[in-house]
A and B are shown apart, each in its own frame.
Chain A
Amino acid sequence: MLTTSDPPAPVPPGAVTGAAVIETTALTKRYPGGVTALDSLTVEVAPGITGLIGANGAGKSTLIKILLGLLPPTKGRARVLGLDGQRDAEQIRTLVGYMPEHDCLPPDVSATEFVTHMARMAGLPAVAAKERAAESLRHVGLHEERYRAVGTYSTGMKQRVKLAQALAGDPRLLLLDEPTNGLDPAGRTAMLELIARIGAEFGLSVVVASHLLGEIEQICDHLVAVESGRLLRAGSLTSLTQVSQLLLVEVADGPAGRTADLAGELGRRGLEPRPDGRGLLVPIVDEATCDVIRDAVADLGIALGRMEQRRHRVEELFRPADLEVTDGR
């Protein structure tokens, strides 16, 4: 443990090499019986927190098994942390921490015992395993409950134990499969914050497989979207959530008629608002558009509830942008 006068700044992940943590080249897997789980998937996963979305059950578990060297691909190649997926599989497995989606904890051991055992199975000597297990459990936020049998834990605590066993071996890359599965909203928030912290401060890269676009948008830097075994899109979150040239303006409370008044006034001032759910979408003409809106609102004495530049959303990969469609809520 270092002694400093200030906690050190967090280590940016991938600072050393900046190279891709996962690279697949035309990766294909066909099962007997005709199921094609992966179809010529070529993708590079950059360091940082990457979301993996869209892959259905077969594709996702197939991809994870191939990355861990447990399954040979039908065609193509995978490289993890610069190592060949088939040839260096064992070494890859020392460097990767995996958190499965399903329940995988025996109920009759304590978290401490289990994580220590798993750390030893990752190649750590006995004493180091005990220490790292204790540290991992602390990082995920399990305290005195770690000495109780895992069977007595809530879903949230179990998910944390699963995460702790993946961390205990000091991986360079974490593979988290649906880490918020089964958690209630508070549990999801806590888990997402934990993952964000791990990605930002622990100096390792994280791949989060999830179906929930909202949480991907919340914590991930990059995104890989797969569909039917093929790559749908890969890129940074910022490139997928860019601002559109539309301002959403909502009137706060009051009769709906005020929205129409505002629409009329904006029209008189040269803008072209159109209705959108409970507000108006105003195309941005130039820098001064927001001033026009501000002035119109002030002149009419309207309560302004929202003025927001609409961003694109990850959801648009799966559904065309409905910036024009009324919500009809």
Chain B
Amino acid sequence: MAADATGVIHDLGYQPYTGPRFGRAAVVRTLTGYSLRSAFGLGRGARAKIVPVGVFVLMCLPAVINAFLVARGGTRAFPYDTYSYLVRVVGMTIFLAAQAPELVSRDLRHRVLPLYFARPLRPADYPLAKLVALITAGLIVLDVPLLLLYVSTIVGVHGPGAVWHETVLLLPGLAYGLLWSVVLATIALALASFSGRRAIAAGAVAGFFFLTWVLSEVLGTVATGPGHAVTSSTAAHVAGLVSPFTLLDGVRLALGGTQPGQVPDPGAGWGSGYALLLVVLVAASVAALVTRYRKVGAA
């Protein structure tokens, strides 16, 4: 007594999508998240992680050193606002020179942009999403070491008063790190967006930051005279205009940051000048980015 044999053919044909669809806002958020992951080489193989992770480790070194010193009974070795100027300059230059091209030059070189623009986002959304991602990445690279510094310090202090003291010092430091990231990432992304070739874009970014920094160092040395006694000469302040790093430091000093800085204390006058130039640089870079991608979108 055999059972009736039955069979079934499943429909493997094309099925339309009936689920929820996200709008522009969610799509831009997705792009930002994706770009942030790219900035650290996630999802792209081991080689892509070498530079970002390496820079991150480098940036943490002062915090690690601090941990050792505190463990031996010392006090915090680095201020929260400046942290370590040299490590930051080198670290951010390398990080941005390597990762800004990763975010924008790749898509330009391989002409992926028409695919993005055929989707529900506006041409200006693309560079802005990339910018937010790079700023966030820079923020991680700059401020997470600060947090490590903080943690490694407060294990060595006693009493809530001391902890509160450290916290109050930490917070402006975090904000200053954000300012660094906003300024530097915007300039780097704008520079990188002009070339589809990674090497050229990286060279442009690294070249700009490095050369302006060297120039500011040289001019600063010259301006402070043979004895290197820092005076509040105009020349030294002018020298500080040359590099974004010194502009940032000047603003920090004007707002009451730890002395000494890279330039003589600028006071309110020069301080406003530095701040204004920073605003101009950021605004010009954003404008360049938006214009660049509007041109690409319509091209």
Question: Which chain A residues border B86 with CB–CB below 8 Å?
Answer: none
Determine whether the beta carbon of B123 is less than 8 Å from that of A70. yes
CB-defined A-B contacts under 8 Å, sample of 15: A5-B7, A5-B8, A70-B297, A90-B121, A93-B119, A93-B120, A96-B118, A106-B106, A106-B107, A107-B110, A108-B44, A121-B31, A123-B27, A124-B22, A135-B15
A103 is an interface residue with CB less than 8 A from chain B = yes
B115 is an interface residue with CB less than 8 A from chain A = yes
Determine whether the beta carbon of B9 is less than 8 Å from that of A94. no
Report the bound CA distance from A18 to B14 in whole Å. Answer: 20
B116 is an interface residue with CB less than 8 A from chain A = yes
Determine whether the beta carbon of A90 is less than 8 Å from that of B13. no
A4 (CB) vs chain B CBs: closest residue? B11
Report the bound CA distance from A113 to B34 in whole Å. Answer: 11
Q: How far is the CB of A81 from chain B (nearest CB, A)?
A: 14
Contact with B along A62-95 (1 / 0, CB 8 A): 0001001011000000000000000000110110
* A121 and B116 in contact, given A1-B12, A5-B9, A170-B16 (Cβ under 8 angstroms): yes
Question: Which chain A residues border B13 with CB–CB below 8 Å?
Answer: 7-8, 10, 201-202
Q: Which of A97-119 contact B (CB under 8 A)?
A: 97-98, 100, 102-109, 113, 117-118
On A, residues with C-beta under 8 Å from B are: 1-8, 10, 65, 68, 70-71, 90-91, 93-94, 96-98, 100, 102-109, 113, 117-118, 120-125, 128, 132, 135, 139, 165, 169-170, 198, 201-203
* A104 and B21 in contact, given A121-B31, A122-B120, A170-B16 (Cβ under 8 angstroms): no
> Which of B23, B30, B115 makes the CB contact (< 8 A) with A100?
B115
Report the bound CA distance from A122 to B13 in whole Å. Answer: 22
B298 (CB) vs chain A CBs: closest residue? A71
Report the bound CA distance from A80 to B21 in whole Å. Answer: 19
Q: How far is the CB of A70 from chain B (nearest CB, A)?
A: 6
When A and B form their complex, which 6 residue pairs have the shortest distance between CB atoms, in order from nearest? A170-B17, A98-B118, A202-B14, A2-B11, A123-B21, A123-B22
Question: Which chain A residues border B121 with CB–CB below 8 Å?
Answer: 90, 121
B14 (CB) vs chain A CBs: closest residue? A202
Interface centre among B14, B30, B121, B122 (most CB of A within 10 A): B14
Interface centre among B30, B43, B121 (most CB of A within 10 A): B30
B10 is an interface residue with CB less than 8 A from chain A = yes
B117 is an interface residue with CB less than 8 A from chain A = yes
Question: Which chain A residues border B45 with CB–CB below 8 Å?
Answer: 108
Question: Which chain B residues border A91 with CB–CB below 8 Å?
Answer: 120
Determine whether the beta carbon of B21 is less than 8 Å from that of A165. no
* A123 and B120 in contact, given A106-B112, A117-B34, A165-B115 (Cβ under 8 angstroms): yes
Report the bound CA distance from A191 to B130 in whole Å. Answer: 35
Q: How far is the CB of A181 from chain B (nearest CB, A)?
A: 14
Determine whether the beta carbon of B110 is less than 8 Å from that of A105. yes
Question: Which chain A residues border B117 with CB–CB below 8 Å?
Answer: 68, 70
Question: Which chain B residues border A70 with CB–CB below 8 Å?
Answer: 117, 123, 297-298
Having A139-B14, A169-B119, A202-B14, one finds 18 other A-B pairs with CB under 8 Å, namely A2-B10, A4-B11, A5-B9, A7-B9, A8-B11, A10-B13, A70-B123, A70-B298, A104-B112, A106-B106, A108-B44, A108-B45, A113-B43, A120-B30, A122-B27, A122-B120, A170-B16, A198-B14
Q: How far is the CB of A146 from chain B (nearest CB, A)?
A: 16
Question: Which chain B residues border A102 with CB–CB below 8 Å?
Answer: 111
Determine whether the beta carbon of A90 is less than 8 Å from that of B24. yes
B19 is an interface residue with CB less than 8 A from chain A = yes
Determine whether the beta carbon of A4 is less than 8 Å from that of B9. yes
Determine whether the beta carbon of A118 is less than 8 Å from that of B115. yes
Q: How far is the CB of B194 from chain A (nearest CB, A)?
A: 19
Interface centre among B11, B116, B118 (most CB of A within 10 A): B118
Q: How far is the CB of A120 from chain B (nearest CB, A)?
A: 5
A136 (CB) vs chain B CBs: closest residue? B14
Determine whether the beta carbon of A125 is less than 8 Å from that of B14. no
Report the bound CA distance from A109 to B107 in whole Å. Answer: 12
Report the bound CA distance from A104 to B21 in whole Å. Answer: 25
Question: Which chain B residues border A113 with CB–CB below 8 Å?
Answer: 43
B54 is an interface residue with CB less than 8 A from chain A = no
B207 is an interface residue with CB less than 8 A from chain A = no
Question: Which chain B residues border A124 with CB–CB below 8 Å?
Answer: 17, 19, 21-22
Determine whether the beta carbon of A203 is less than 8 Å from that of B8. no
Question: Which chain B residues border A100 with CB–CB below 8 Å?
Answer: 111, 114-115
Question: Which chain B residues border A132 with CB–CB below 8 Å?
Answer: 17
> Which of A106, A118, A123, A170 makes the CB contact (< 8 A) with B110?
A106
Question: Which chain B residues border A7 with CB–CB below 8 Å?
Answer: 9, 11, 13
Report the bound CA distance from A93 to B45 in whole Å. Answer: 32
Question: Which chain A residues border B14 with CB–CB below 8 Å?
Answer: 135, 139, 198, 201-203
